[in-house]
Chains A and B, each alone.
Chain A
Amino acid sequence: MRELLMGNQAIAMGAICCGVGLVAGYPGTPSSEILETVAKRNPGHIYVEWSVNEKSAMEVAAGASYAGMRTMVTMKQVGLNVASDPLMSLAYIGVKGGMVVVVADDPGPISSQTEQDTRHFAIFSKLPVFDPSSPEEAYQMIGDAFAYSEKYHTPVLFRPTTRICHGYATVDVDDAYQEIKPEGFIKDPKWTIFPSLAYQSHLKIEARQPIIAEDFSSYHFNTITGNAKARSGIATGGISYAYTCEALAALNGECKLFKVATPHPFPEKLALEFLSGLDEVLVVEELDPVIEKELLYLCGKYHLPITIKGKLTQDMPNAGENKVESVNWAIVKFLSLPISPAGMPFDLPKLPVRPPSLCAGCPHRASFYAVKQAMKGQKAVFSGDIGCYTLGNAKPLSMVDTCLCMGAGITIAQGLHRAEPDAVNFAFIGDSTFFHTGIPGVINAVYNQTDIVIIILDNSTTAMTGHQPHPGTGATVMGNISQKISISEVLKALGVRHVVTQNPFNLEQTITAVKEAAAFKGVSAIIFEAVCIGRGEKASLYSIDPSKCTGCNRCLAELGCPAIVKDDKKVRIDASACFGCSLCLQVCKEKAIGSEKK
C-alpha cells in the first residue's frame, strides 16, 4: 500500500516487514518516532519497550539477538555515547539474530548538544554502517541491514539524519510481513567475553573488514551515476545526495556522481571505479569529512593525482547542516557554472528572535521561580540537565547555570561544591532523566557525603521528545500498566535523609520547602510534582484587571510566560495561550490578576 511516511515511520515499517521481533530504545530527537511507530503498527508479535536508557536498550536487544531474534535498537546520536560500552564489546562477541542499531544524527544541531558523527562510531567499533538518502530508501535499506547483520554475525549501525527522520515521502509499503521464530539461546563459550576471546575476535574482525568492503562495492544503494566521461566528480551520501541531485538538476550541471550508502567499511573497489578518469572531486557530506578522508586515503594508496575538495579544503562548511543553497553554491563554484539568481532579492527587515521557551502554564517555570526567590541574596549555583527544563536557562528565569549531558547535573553540582563549599549547589533533573542516568549520581552524593540540593522536576512524562512513558508513570509503550516506581521511595532507599514532595504552584509553600532543603546539611531532595500541560486539562483562565494594574511589569519581567503579553504599554493575558497555572496571580503585588472563566 502506498503511504505517506515520515522517515522514522518508514524505518519502523521496513523493520516490521522484515521480521523484527524486538525493538528497544530511549527517546531522543530526531529518533523517537521509530519505536513509537513499531508500537503503533505492531502486528502483535513484536516486543517493544522504552528502556530506561540506551545502554539498557542495547543490552536487552543483544540478549534477544543471542537467541536468534531479529532486533532493533533506536536512539539519538548522544544516546550511543551512553550505549557505547555494550556496543564496543558486542562488536567482538557478535550476534545470531540480525541486530540493527539505529542512531539518528542531528546536523545543525537542531535539537542536540553535539554534532557528533555516528559514522566515526562505525569506524571506531569496526561495524558496518548504512546511511539512507531518503525515507523510501530507508524503508528498503533497513531490510538490507538485517541481512548483512546475519550474513556477518555482527550488529550493524543504521544512521539517518534529521532531514531523513523528519522528512515525509510517499512510500510503497509491503503489506506482508515476516514472523521469524527465534531458534533459542544455545550455550557456547563464544557468548562470554575474555581477553583471549577478545584477541581472537579482533583478528576475525580485521580479516572481515576488507571482505565487507568488497561486498559493499556491489551493494545496490552504492551507486555511480551521471556523466561517466566527466573529469569532475561529486561524492556524497545521506541527505546531501538529495541536495546534490536537486542542485545538479536545477543548474543543468554535469559530472560523475558517487553515492555512498555504506560509509564503513568503505566500498573501495567501487570508489576506485568512480575516481578513475577524474581530475577533481567535490565531497558533499554533513558533519565530519568521512567520505573525504576515505577518498584521500585511496588517492594516497594508489598514487592517484586527483584533487579532493571538501571540508578539509574549506570548500564545504565544517559545522552545521547542509542546505540546498549551500550545496548549490559549492557546485556552482566546483563546476564553474554560470551563477543563477537564488530567489527574489529581498532586503528583509529586522525580525524577532524566538528562542524556544517553557510553555505557558509549565510547572517548571513555577519550580525555577520558587527556587530563585528562596535563594535571593545567597550564593547558589543551579546545575541543570537535559529535557524541557533546560529552557529554564532563558531570561528572565536564568536558572540553568550548567548543562552537560543526561544525568550530569547531579554530579556536576557535587564537583562544584567540592571546589566552592560556601555556595548552595542545586541540581535540577527531570523524572525521565532521573531514571535514565540520575540515580548513580545520587548514590555518589550520599556515599561521598556531599552537601547538595536535588530538585526533581516530576511532570509525569518525557515531555521534550513527545510524551513517552517512563518507569515513574506506571505505563509502558505496549500500553500495559506496570508497577510505578516512586522517585521519593527510591531517594529514601538510596539514603537521602531529607526528601520532600511539593506542588510547585503553591508559591509560598514551595519557597519555604526550598529554604528548608537548602539549610539541610547533606544530600536533600525536593520532588516538584505537577503534570506537564501537554497531558493536563486547562484550569480556569486568568485576566488582568486594567483598573488595578499599575503597569509595574512585574508579572512580565519575573516569569517570562508566553501568555503574558504587552500591547501599547499595557500588559494583558492572552486567553488563547493561558493555561490557568495561577503563578502570575501569586506574583502580582497589586492583586490585579483574577480568574476569568473556565
Chain B
Amino acid sequence: MINIILAGVGGQGIVLASKMITQTAMDKGMQVRSSETIGMAQRGGCVASHIRIGERIFSPLIPRGTVDIIIGFEPAEAVRYLTYLKENGIVIVSQKAIKPAFDPKATMEYDEQEMLKYLISHVKCLQIVDADAIYAECGSAKILNTALLGVAAATGVFGFSMEDIEKTINNNLPKKLIEINLKALHLGQSIAEENL
C-alpha cells in the first residue's frame, strides 16, 4: 500500500496533480482511493489531497503515521501534515512560501526559513525544491504541481514510472498545456536526480 499526501494552498493546482497520480495508478491497473478538498477552502485556504494506492483500502482519508510521501506545495503546509508521515517517509517541498492574506491582527509572522529549518531537522528524506528556478525555466508559475510530481516520481515511491505519468499528461491535459507540463515534469526529475 502506498499513501501519499499533497498539501498546499487553494489555487496551487493540487487537485490536478492528485488527479494525475490517481489516473496513472489506475491506468496501471492499481486500486486507488483518494480524497480532495473542494469548496470554500479552495479560496486561499489549506488544501490537501489524500491518495492511497493498493488493495483492501477502506478509508479515503489516510491515518496518521502511515504516509510514504508528503508533497508540500509550500513550507508551512508540508509541516502541517508531518504527523501523517511514517518513520523514514519522504518529504518533497517547494521552498517558496505562500503568505496568508494580510491580517493586521495576525498573531504571528510567517517565516518560511523557520519552517524549512524545522523540516531539515525533523525529516531524514527531505528534498527542497526551488520553485523560483522552476518558474524561470518554464516561464509560468502554473506548473509547480507537475514539477513537484516529477521530483516525487523520480524517488520511485509511486510504484509507476516517469513514462507512465507522461502518458497520463499526454492523454488527459488540453493540447496546448502538454508541452509545458512535460517540460516541468522532466525538470522535476532532473532536480531529484541531481540531489541523489
* A residues with CB within 8 A of B: 2-4, 6, 29-30, 110-111, 134, 163, 166-170, 239, 242-243, 245-246, 249-250, 323-325, 328, 341-344, 346, 348-359, 388, 391, 394-396, 464-466, 556-557, 560-562, 564-566, 576
CB–CB A167/B33 < 8 A: yes
Bound-state CA distance A353–B122 (Å) is 22
CB–CB A352/B108 < 8 A: yes
Given A4-B23, A29-B38, A344-B87, does the pair A349, B60 have CB atoms closer than 8 Å?
no
**B9, B66, B102: which has the most chain A beta carbons within 10 Å?**
B102
Residue of A nearest to B96 (CB): A576
Residue of A nearest to B36 (CB): A166
CB–CB A348/B83 < 8 A: yes
CB–CB B61/A163 < 8 A: yes
Bound-state CA distance A2–B32 (Å) is 11
CB–CB B38/A344 < 8 A: no
CB–CB B34/A168 < 8 A: yes
Partner of B39, one of A3, A29, A245: A29
* B residues with CB within 8 A of A: 9-11, 22-23, 26, 31-46, 56-66, 76, 79-80, 82-87, 99-106, 108, 110, 114-115, 118, 122, 135, 141
Bound-state CA distance A328–B62 (Å) is 12
Given A166-B35, A349-B114, A353-B100, does the pair A343, B43 have CB atoms closer than 8 Å?
no
CB–CB B34/A356 < 8 A: no
Partner of B79, one of A239, A348, A358, A560: A348
| Residues of A contacting B10 in the complex (Cβ-Cβ under 8 angstroms) | 356
CB–CB A328/B32 < 8 A: no
Bound-state CA distance A139–B152 (Å) is 32
Residue of A nearest to B65 (CB): A343
Closest chain-B Cβ to A40's Cβ sits at a distance in Å of 15
CB–CB B101/A357 < 8 A: yes
7 intermolecular pairs with C-beta atoms under 8 Å apart: A169-B34, A170-B32, A249-B56, A324-B59, A343-B84, A356-B43, A465-B39
Bound-state CA distance A506–B114 (Å) is 41
**B22, B39, B46: which has the most chain A beta carbons within 10 Å?**
B39
Given A2-B26, A169-B32, A346-B83, does the pair A341, B65 have CB atoms closer than 8 Å?
yes
CB–CB A355/B39 < 8 A: no
CB–CB A170/B26 < 8 A: yes
**Which 4 A-B pairs give the minimum distances between C-beta atoms?**
A343-B65, A111-B39, A576-B141, A343-B64
Closest chain-B Cβ to A132's Cβ sits at a distance in Å of 13
CB–CB A354/B9 < 8 A: yes
Bound-state CA distance A170–B28 (Å) is 12
CB–CB A562/B39 < 8 A: no
| Residues of A contacting B11 in the complex (Cβ-Cβ under 8 angstroms) | 359
The prevalent SS among residues of A at the interface is loop
Bound-state CA distance A356–B61 (Å) is 22
CB–CB B59/A168 < 8 A: no
Closest chain-B Cβ to A416's Cβ sits at a distance in Å of 26
Closest chain-B Cβ to A2's Cβ sits at a distance in Å of 7
CB–CB A560/B58 < 8 A: no
CB–CB B32/A349 < 8 A: no
| Residues of B contacting A341 in the complex (Cβ-Cβ under 8 angstroms) | 65
CB–CB B102/A358 < 8 A: no
Closest chain-A Cβ to B189's Cβ sits at a distance in Å of 23
| Residues of B contacting A394 in the complex (Cβ-Cβ under 8 angstroms) | 101, 103
CB–CB B110/A562 < 8 A: no
Bound-state CA distance A356–B39 (Å) is 10
Closest chain-B Cβ to A544's Cβ sits at a distance in Å of 14
Bound-state CA distance A163–B59 (Å) is 9
CB–CB B35/A560 < 8 A: no
CB–CB B43/A391 < 8 A: yes
Given A167-B35, A561-B101, does the pair A349, B59 have CB atoms closer than 8 Å?
no
CB–CB A243/B58 < 8 A: yes
Partner of B82, one of A246, A344, A396: A344
CB–CB A348/B63 < 8 A: no
- Extra contacts, 7 of them, besides A356-B45, A359-B11, A359-B43 (Cβ < 8 A), are A168-B33, A324-B59, A325-B64, A354-B100, A465-B39, A560-B102, A564-B102
Given A323-B61, A356-B44, A359-B44, does the pair A343, B83 have CB atoms closer than 8 Å?
yes
CB–CB B39/A344 < 8 A: no
Partner of A354, one of B32, B45, B57, B115: B45
Partner of B22, one of A4, A352, A391, A466: A4
**B31, B57, B99, B122: which has the most chain A beta carbons within 10 Å?**
B99
| Residues of A contacting B9 in the complex (Cβ-Cβ under 8 angstroms) | 354
Bound-state CA distance A566–B111 (Å) is 11
CB–CB B63/A246 < 8 A: yes
Bound-state CA distance A167–B62 (Å) is 12
Bound-state CA distance A166–B44 (Å) is 19
CB–CB A576/B135 < 8 A: yes
Residue of A nearest to B88 (CB): A344
CB–CB B43/A110 < 8 A: no
CB–CB B114/A565 < 8 A: no
